[in-house]
Amino acid sequence: MNENLTLNKDTLKRYEELLLNENMLFELNVIPQIVVNKDRIIIRANKKFSKLFGYAKEDILGKQTIVLTPSKEKFEEYRRHFVHTKDGVIKSEELEYKKSDGTLFWVKLEGNPINQQEDELFILWSFIDVDREVQYRQQLEIAKQKAEEATKVKSEFLANMSHEIRTPMNGIIGMSHLALQTGLTQKQKHYVQKIDDSAKSLLGIINDILDFSKIEEGKLTIEKVEFDLFKVIDSVINLIEFKAHEKNLEIIVSYANNVGKNFYGDSLRISQILTNLLGNAVKFTQNGEIGIYISEVDENKFRFEVKDTGIGLTSEQQIKLFKAFSQADGSTTRKYGGTGLGLTISKQLVELMDGKIWVESKKGLGSNFIFEIELEQRDTQQRDFTLFSGKKVLVVDDNSAWHEILDNTLSMFDINAEHAYNANEAIQKTYECESSYDLILMDWNMPGVDGIEAAKMINEMCHTCTKKSICTRELPPSIIMVSSFRQESIVKLAKDVGIDIFLQKPIDPSILNDILARTFLSDIKLNYSNITKQSSLKNEMSSLNANKILLVEDNITNQEIILGLLENSGISIEIANNGEEAVEKFKESRYDLIFMDLQMPVMDGYEATKLIRDINKDIPIIALTANAMKEDMQYTKKAGMNEHLNKPIEAEKLYATLLKYLSKKAIDAKEFTHAVETLLLPEFTTIDTKKGLKLLAGNKKLYLKIVNDFYNNYLNLELDKLNDDEFKRTVHTLKGLSANIGATKLYEITKKLDETQDKSLIYSWQVEMKKVLDELQSKLQLKEENQIQKTQLPHAEIKELFLKLKKAARTKRSKECKLIIDELEQYKLSSLDKKIFEDVKKLLRKYNFKEIVEILKEI
Amino acid sequence: MNDKKPTILVVDDTEINIDILLELLSDEYDIIVSLDGKSAIQSVKEDSIDLILLDIMMPDMDGYEVCEIIKSDENTRDIPIIFITAKTDEDSIGKAYEVGGIDYVTKPFKARELKCPYKNAA
């Protein structure tokens, strides 16, 4: 480079002049530009402008800028889109302009005022061509709209399909429910149970999809009601309890002591989230414990934690966990089923409640799913239970987590508990305690000495106590048995040692409150039955038996389900197959309530309801529908229906609805013979079932039991081999029983036999008796176990059979195992053998041969 | 004629599938049941198996892997394997053949379809 190269002053000045020549700079500018005067007339335009708009310079100069805009209206409108910035620059957003050939395209404008002469204002307008960007963006927008529309259509389709699927599901679930209540053989029962299980799990999936699509569509709303948190948690636990106990998992429920009972919020959705999280916890935990922990994090903000000691999650898995259709393990070797929608739904529900959800987990150590939601707590003062303060309570449990939880719960009642971790420690503490305990909460299942044995020892010790002079209590402490398992056998054992009160884990604080109140405030000890949950509403149905219902439903299966569910209630039910029939029937007869299907041939439920409402405004009309959408409920309400029952129909909901709308009126049993007609008993030739049922006030269950007993007691009766005394007694009893079951002819012969004691009648009696027994056997599937008389076999032979069973299990041959099990079934087994045998049967149903071999190892 | 029933090894981790297969096949065949790949491989070594019905989606070891192991052992490679699968996509089925399966049956089972192939295979 030549560093000496310089420009002389003249050259510089010439260059400056040249460059200052505006015209040249304007012409060469790469940006399309024009200059307009105050009347918006174009007075100058550069080359780039001509190229962009397609005008020759001479054609455009002197014209108003209106020629560049698509229309006169736009020309005026665009003026409103110009924004004046502080430094005097005018800017526009993207605007559509017109080329000389009429093509429309998008530009952005920037105007710089040039004020060279005072009376004249010029503006230099620069055009930026943004046509391509705008086009792309518009295409993108269209694609996005299409995608959104498609998603919406898909969601609607899913919602509709789910509804369509629910209809036949109703048939499957309802029918298997009813079939399970009939006398089935073990094999049939097993099959139907599997149908029932599979159908329910399918329904769960469908409900998930339905929820998911509703949330996607934005149709799901949060409803706020007052609710009892303890009850909500209790019902959630009820749902998963069975599965958890099957896996021997301990269930823990912990309420921090600032958490009360009454809340205002969407309890249904909260229980849905908790059920989902707890369901996962059970699914992914092989041993240890699962639990719900509830605490207040802020005023009216609560934290729910669902913890487990399961397989846990890696951090990568945690990231994708809450995404729809994704699961932690999506490979072909995945161990755990599911749609992968549960957590997504939970997340969306939590967000709908203005909350957040997250997971804390370590692979192999377990997970903790946490969500926090705004929740209004009502009447917090209820938490002060100071009635029991100062009471001495001992908690006996081998699990330290339980001590913590009971401490928490008892502190709600102002009780400071003492602790023992095994039976011996409990006995020792009770012995050493000078004033003795008021109450002992005793775990049943402890290693070494179990709770029942420990209770027995404490009771005995207190009765024979020599410290009476220093012990202030006259009676031994009240002992409450605490157990995760509510088995009748344990309850019975506990009762034998004088423990009447049973408390089931996880502990519901309100139940504990009841128990403490009854233990401390009176001397009456609580019966086990008093604290167990409410029994089925079904039992209350008989109080409605004088009512008459019209069932409007075109589907025979659905008709049968309602008939079946109300079978024993005595309520009389008439059927209409469509809306028109319903209206006709309604005009002719008086009913107390109408069940109305919505979609029916000839006339649908809405129209029928309208016509019925014209005649009668008061009769309760309950819609039966597989449509679970909220809008449908609004339609039915609008049509004049009182309430909505979703298919598949749940027995308890059906009963609750009836109890709500029907007045309790029961009539004397003898009068409602018409109700008996709705019962589905087989037709007999030797037995008049109606007669038999009438004698039992229509109680079909009782009737079947009596028939069953009759069959089993007299199947092997050899009347001719009895001595006179036995003969007399047996014939007399038989006379009554044959009348009771409605075996008219048998009754007549037995009556004659009873009156005359004429043994020559035995033959004709035997013929008739055989007819009755044969018919009973063929038409009613009587309980199998009662038919088999178990025989005694030497222990060595039983052992031999068990060894054979072990061998068959080792080769994993299910059928061979089953044959041996059938053989073993015929023999009386010792209690230990019976326990092993029952366990083996359970394991075989799951094809778990490995465990079977393990169990049989000791034999 | 040999009176002994042909032996089929059913490998599936879903109870209800085994229930159905047993119900359909156990009159005509001697059935051995394995809930997972590991115990299936053990059975193949210990017993004389004429045919294997093998599920694909299983915990720990999937059906393809089980098949590959059986096929790689000289003593067991000739046992015909039929896959039972809920997967109907081409890739899954292609892979079933690739690893040495002779056929596949899709779930849910149809009784007739299920009974046909074994007549020839077992």
Residues of A213-240 as b/e, b for ≥16 C-beta within 10 angstroms?
Answer: bbbbeeebeeeeeebebbebbbebbeeb
pLDDT score of B92: 82
The model's confidence at residue A648, banded by pLDDT at 50, 70 and 90, is low
Same domain, A123 and A154: no
CB contact under 8 A, A812 and B22: no
Percentage of chain B modeled with pLDDT above 90: 52
**Mean pLDDT of chain A, nearest integer:** 79
pLDDT score of A7: 65
Q: What is the mean pLDDT of residues A128-136?
A: 93
Q: Measured between CB atoms, does B51 come within 8 Å of chain A? A: no
Same domain, A632 and A670: yes
Same domain, A391 and A520: yes
Of B19 and A697, the one with more pLDDT: B19
The model's confidence at residue B117, banded by pLDDT at 50, 70 and 90, is low
CB contact under 8 A, B34 and A194: no
Same domain, A244 and A366: yes
Q: By residue range, what is the domain housing residue B39?
A: 7-59+67-82+91-110
Same domain, A522 and A434: yes
CA distance B74 to chain A (A): 22
Same domain, A273 and A153: no
Best mutation target among B33, B52, B99 (most A Cβ atoms within 10 Å) is: B33
- Cα A48 versus chain centre, distance: 70
Question: Does A683 map to a domain?
Answer: no
Determine contact, residues A595/A552, Cβ cutoff 8 Å: yes
Give chain B's length.
Answer: 122
Long-range contacts for A176-180 (Cβ within 8 Å, ≥24 apart)?
Answer: A177/A561, A177/A651, A178/A560, A178/A561, A178/A564, A178/A565
CA distance B17 to chain A (A): 11
Nearest residue, CB atoms, B16 vs list A194, A331, A815: A194
- Chain B residues with CB inside 8 Å of A845's CB? 15
Same domain, A375 and A230: yes
The model's confidence at residue A224, banded by pLDDT at 50, 70 and 90, is confident
Q: Measured between CB atoms, does B90 come within 8 Å of chain A? A: no
Q: By residue range, what is the domain housing residue A174?
A: 137-217
CATH number at residue A644: 3.40.50.2300
Q: How many domains does chain A have?
A: 7
For residue A471, pLDDT over 60 is answered with no
Question: Does B50 map to a domain?
Answer: yes
pLDDT score of A362: 87
Determine contact, residues A398/A454, Cβ cutoff 8 Å: no
Question: Does A682 map to a domain?
Answer: no
Nearest residue, CB atoms, A813 vs list B15, B31, B39: B31
CB contact under 8 A, A813 and B35: no
Q: What is the mean pLDDT of residues A469-495?
A: 68
Determine contact, residues A108/A95, Cβ cutoff 8 Å: yes
Q: Where are the beta strands (DSSP E) in A453-577?
A: 478-483, 502-504, 548-552, 572-576
The model's confidence at residue B112, banded by pLDDT at 50, 70 and 90, is low
Q: How far apart are CA A14 and CA B52, in angstroms?
A: 98
pLDDT score of A163: 66
Question: Does B23 map to a domain?
Answer: yes
Same domain, A235 and A339: yes
Question: Does B116 map to a domain?
Answer: no
For residue B115, pLDDT over 70 is answered with no
Question: Does A87 map to a domain?
Answer: yes
Same domain, A184 and A255: no
Question: Does A1 map to a domain?
Answer: no
Question: Does B119 map to a domain?
Answer: no
Question: Does A651 map to a domain?
Answer: yes
Q: Could you give the maximum distance between any two Cα atoms of chain A, in Å? A: 158
Name the burial class of residue A313, with classes exposed (0-12), middle (13-18) and buried (19+) by CB atoms within 10 angstroms of its CB. Answer: buried
- Chain A residues with CB inside 8 Å of B26's CB? 814-815
Same domain, A147 and A114: no
CB half-sphere exposure, A360, CA atoms < 13 A: 6
The model's confidence at residue B80, banded by pLDDT at 50, 70 and 90, is very high
CATH number at residue B47: 3.40.50.2300
CB contact under 8 A, A815 and B16: no
Same domain, A185 and A240: no
Question: Does A41 map to a domain?
Answer: yes
Best mutation target among B4, B11, B14, B19 (most A Cβ atoms within 10 Å) is: B19
CB contact under 8 A, A811 and B46: yes
- Chain A residues with CB inside 8 Å of B16's CB? 194, 198
Helical segments of B7-110, H only? 15-25, 37-46, 63-72, 90-98
- Chain A residues with CB inside 8 Å of B61's CB? 333
Q: Best-predicted range by mean pLDDT among A25-39, A411-425, A690-704, A803-817?
A: A803-817
pLDDT score of A368: 94
- Give the lowest-confidence range in A44-53, A295-304, A583-592, A735-744: A735-744
CB contact under 8 A, A850 and B18: no
Of A832 and A696, the one with more pLDDT: A832
CB atoms within 10 A of CB A841: 15
Retrieve residue B77's tokens: 């490679």
Q: How many domains does chain B have?
A: 1
CB contact under 8 A, A814 and B61: no
Q: Where are the beta strands (DSSP E) in A484-571?
A: 502-504, 548-552
CA distance A607 to chain B (A): 41
Q: What is the mean pLDDT of residues A147-165?
A: 77
The model's confidence at residue A367, banded by pLDDT at 50, 70 and 90, is very high
CATH number at residue A85: 3.30.450.20
pLDDT score of A19: 59
Same domain, A230 and A211: no
Question: Does A2 map to a domain?
Answer: no
Give the three-class secondary structure for A253: strand
Question: Does A104 map to a domain?
Answer: yes
The model's confidence at residue A138, banded by pLDDT at 50, 70 and 90, is very high
Query: For A583-629, how does the pLDDT look when each residue is reduced to its tens digit (9 = 90+)?
Result: 999 988 889 899 998 877 788 888 999 999 988 888 999 988 765 56
